[in-house]
């Protein structure tokens, strides 16, 4: 790769040469490769640049790209960029990222164009919709650690787009959490590992005069654990369901968001949370030996005191008085907090 200088400089004027070289160097040096990201539009910022079959000079050259060639970056790895040619997306390869400059493609023409571009980068979303009161369009994804939520807001003079990396987002719905007449965005992130599964409920607040959403309060709404209890040699499952009671039960508090990392603590609306927990012994039948084991009865009593109640027909009669009130019973009656619809969602998550 060569940069030619088509001019002559008098030998007795070295200062002029230095000034001109400084100017040209500043004009052709592209932005650092670290500033480029997957999904960016870029342009070749040197006279000629090789497109190779892999990330490194040991890989063969697919073609030479002249200065100004427009590309879409699909991956960044150790200073190399995997790219697609804008004029022919069937041509792809790797090139040195340090000779690329990012191109500001401007805001998408509309929500459909934005989500079409998102689908090209991340695949089809798990769900998509809009919230008319907030002039907001959304899509959520189950990508195990990639983009989880994308928002497009109609605004003047330009629309606003916003993406959030999450694990598997399983649902999204608008709610007026603090009862002020302005809807917040509530979404649910699910995931887990061996023997455990959980769902977090997260809140976004995006008032009309704000240029981006703010992450509000979050809490774990469902935790399911399957494990082997060595004390009794049985497999067990514990399920804890938490439900936030909105509106009149909410209060102002201080919240320190986990994102972005440098965010300052700020006032937030925090609401009361009701909890319902159960445990069950897994297997074909309830082990007879547990019925007469005093250690088992003591264990069940201890867990019940922590809000985890043994369920099923095998609950010892001595423990029936420890059953928890249902969440419907503790609700004011204006809005049952654990509706049939929410129960169905919980069953879907667990299954």
- pLDDT by residue for the chain (351 residues), tens only, comes to 333 323 333 334 334 333 333 333 333 334 444 468 787 888 898 888 999 999 999 999 999 998 888 888 888 888 899 998 887 778 889 999 989 988 766 667 789 988 888 887 788 899 999 999 999 999 999 876 578 999 999 988 889 998 888 889 988 999 888 777 888 999 999 888 889 999 998 988 888 888 888 877 788 889 999 999 999 999 999 999 988 887 767 777 777 766 566 667 766 777 888 888 999 998 888 888 887 788 988 898 899 888 898 887 555 444 433 333 333 443 444 444 445 665 666 666 555
Write down which residue in 80, 103, 126 finishes a domain. Answer: 103
- The Cα–Cα gap between 47 and 45 comes to 7
- What order do you get walking across the sheet with 136-140 strand by strand? 127-131, 136-140, 147-153, 160-165
Per the document, the length of the chain is: 351
Whether 153 is in a domain gets the answer no
Q: CB–CB of 316/298 below 8 Å?
A: no
Whether 141 is in a domain gets the answer no
Write down which residue in 69, 103, 137 finishes a domain. Answer: 103
Q: Does 85 lie in the same domain as 175?
A: no
- The Cα–Cα gap between 147 and 132 comes to 23
Q: Say how many C-beta atoms besides its own lie within 10 A of residue 201's C-beta.
A: 20
Whether 276 is in a domain gets the answer yes
- The DSSP string of 142-160 is --SSSEEEEEEE--SSS-E
Look-up of token digits 């699909």: 74
Whether 110 is in a domain gets the answer no
Domain with 341 in it: 167-350
Residue 241 φ then ψ, to 5°: -115, 125
Q: Does 95 lie in the same domain as 171?
A: no
Q: Does 325 lie in the same domain as 193?
A: yes
Q: Does 191 lie in the same domain as 325?
A: yes
- The DSSP string of 166-227 is -SEEEEEEEE-SSSSS--EEEEEEEEEETTEEEEEEEEEE--TT-SS-EEEEEEEEEEEEEE
- The Cα–Cα gap between 275 and 288 comes to 30
Q: Does 52 lie in the same domain as 179?
A: no
Q: Does 178 lie in the same domain as 39?
A: no
Q: Does 225 lie in the same domain as 320?
A: yes
Q: Which helix (H) or strand (E) holds 349?
A: helix 340-350
Nearest alpha-carbon partner for 271 in 287, 248, 288: 248
Whether 152 is in a domain gets the answer no
Whether 273 is in a domain gets the answer yes
- The Cα–Cα gap between 89 and 326 comes to 57
Q: Does 261 lie in the same domain as 171?
A: yes
Write down which residue in 47, 80, 103 finishes a domain. Answer: 103
Q: Does 190 lie in the same domain as 336?
A: yes
Q: Does 35 lie in the same domain as 177?
A: no
- The answer to whether the pTM exceeds 0.85 is no
Q: How many domains does the chain have?
A: 2
């Amino acid at each position: 790769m060569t940069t030619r200088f088509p001019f002559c400089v008098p030998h007795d004027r070295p200062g002029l040469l230095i000034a001109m070289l400084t100017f040209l160097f500043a004009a052709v040096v592209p932005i650092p490769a670290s500033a480029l990201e997957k999904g960016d539009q870029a342009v070749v910022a040197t006279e000629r640049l090789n497109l190779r079959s892999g990330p490194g000079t040991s890989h063969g050259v697919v073609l030479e790209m002249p200065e100004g060639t427009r590309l879409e970056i699909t991956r960044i790895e150790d200073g190399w960029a995997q790219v697609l040619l804008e004029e022919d997306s069937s041509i792809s390869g790797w090139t040195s990222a340090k000779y690329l400059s990012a191109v500001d493609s401007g805001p998408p023409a509309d929500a459909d164009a934005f989500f079409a571009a998102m689908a090209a980068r991340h695949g089809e979303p798990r769900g998509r919709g809009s919230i008319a009161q907030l002039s907001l369009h959304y899509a959520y994804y189950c990508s195990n650690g990639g983009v989880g939520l994308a928002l497009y807001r109609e605004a003047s003079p330009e629309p606003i787009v916003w993406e959030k990396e999450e694990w598997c987002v399983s649902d999204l719905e608008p709610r007026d959490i603090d009862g002020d007449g302005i809807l917040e965005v509530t979404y649910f992130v699910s995931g887990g590992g061996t023997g455990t599964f959980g769902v977090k409920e997260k809140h976004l607040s995006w008032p009309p005069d704000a240029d981006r959403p703010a992450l509000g309060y979050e809490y774990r709404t469902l935790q399911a654990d399957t494990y082997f209890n060595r004390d009794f040699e049985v497999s067990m499952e514990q399920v804890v369901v938490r439900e936030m009671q909105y509106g009149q039960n909410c209060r102002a508090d201080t919240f320190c968001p986990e994102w972005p990392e440098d965010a300052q603590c700020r006032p937030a609306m925090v609401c009361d949370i009701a909890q319902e927990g159960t445990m069950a012994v897994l297997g074909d039948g309830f082990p007879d030996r547990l019925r007469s084991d005093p250690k088992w009865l003591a264990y069940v009593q201890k867990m019940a005191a922590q809000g985890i109640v043994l369920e099923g027909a095998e609950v010892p009669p001595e423990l029936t008085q420890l059953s928890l009130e249902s969440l419907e019973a503790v609700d004011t009656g204006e809005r049952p907090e654990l509706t049939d619809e929410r129960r169905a969602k919980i069953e879907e998550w667990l299954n």
